[in-house]
Amino acid sequence: MLRIFSRVLCLLAFVGLMPVALAAPQDPYQLIDVVAQNTFHRMNKEHARIQQEPGYLRQVIREELLPYVDNKFAAYKVIGSNIKNTSPEQRDRFTLAFTDYIVATYADALGKYDNQTIQVEPSKPLGDQKVASVSVKVLDPAAPEITVIFKLRQNSKTGEWKAYDMVAEGISLLAAKQSELGGMIRQQGIDKVSAMLEEHNSKPATLPSKSS
């Protein structure tokens, strides 16, 4: 399952979650489309540095990714019903560790980026909906076409759209982490899971093989 997401992420560079240089569009479809073009442009422009400094990928993601990820919402979804047994400090620690874990995961995938192209579905009327699913086709001459669905939610106070999940080949990344980490939290406690994530995040960044 993780291999599926790794392959998808390396093609997309987690395209739907990158910010844009100008004000972000309030239409989630346009947001995905605009940030996609910006993301691929930056990956091409900074290819040499990324090859020389694998850790720079994490910096890029922190600068370009996190403003458009609802990482707290996703982290709390992973904690799930266990949240009643946690303190605010424990939740803050887990949210930070989970965010760093996602950054490291995406950095590993970004290392495989190699000039793929995408097609984002046209905008659709949303009405009063606060949640949107945006379909993206990943086109790679050396691999079969892949369709990925990004899930975004609109903040009721700010009106901003942020992504919180990605579905590839019918599998939700958020649901996978809920199952994996949520179960560990129930069995081992949130502090041990946070410590495990922190240890993982501290490992030096490396560039994965493009054949992996």
In a domain, 192, yes or no: yes
In a domain, 211, yes or no: no
State the DSSP H helix or E strand holding residue 163, giving kind and residue range, or none if neither: strand 161-168
Q: pLDDT tens digits, residue range 140-182?
A: 787 788 888 889 999 988 889 998 988 877 888 899 999 999 9
In a domain, 112, yes or no: yes
CA angle 162, 202, 66 (to 5 degrees): 15
Check pLDDT > 70 for residue 20: no
pLDDT for res 45: 82
For residue 70, the SS3 value is coil
pTM, to two decimals: 0.79
Q: Where would I find the beta strands (DSSP E) of 123-160?
A: 131-140, 143-154
pLDDT for res 57: 79
Question: For the residues of 182-209, what is the DSSP string, one character each?
Answer: HHHHHHH-HHHHHHHHHHHHTSPP-PPP
In a domain, 212, yes or no: no
pLDDT for res 141: 82
For the chain, give the percent of residues with pLDDT over 90. 36
In a domain, 207, yes or no: no
pLDDT for res 18: 40
* Domain housing 125: 2-19+26-201
Q: What is the CATH classification number for the domain harbouring 114? A: 3.10.450.710
**Which of 16-30, 99-113, 175-189 is predicted most confidently?**
175-189
One-letter amino acid at 176 equals A
Beta bridge partners of 135: 149
Q: pLDDT tens digits, residue range 45-70?
A: 888 898 888 888 788 778 877 777 89
* C-alpha distances out from residue 111 to 18, 101, 118, 148, 186, Å: 16, 16, 18, 19, 33
One-letter amino acid at 81 equals S
Check pLDDT > 70 for residue 200: yes
Query: How far is Cα 63 from Cα 48, in angstroms, rounded to an integer?
Result: 18
Q: pLDDT tens digits, residue range 77-87?
A: 999 999 999 99
In a domain, 135, yes or no: yes
pLDDT for res 16: 39
In a domain, 209, yes or no: no
- Count of domains for the chain: 1
| Closest CA relative to residue 78, chosen from 173, 192, 174 | 174
Query: How far is Cα 37 from Cα 54, in angstroms, rounded to an integer?
Result: 22
In a domain, 121, yes or no: yes
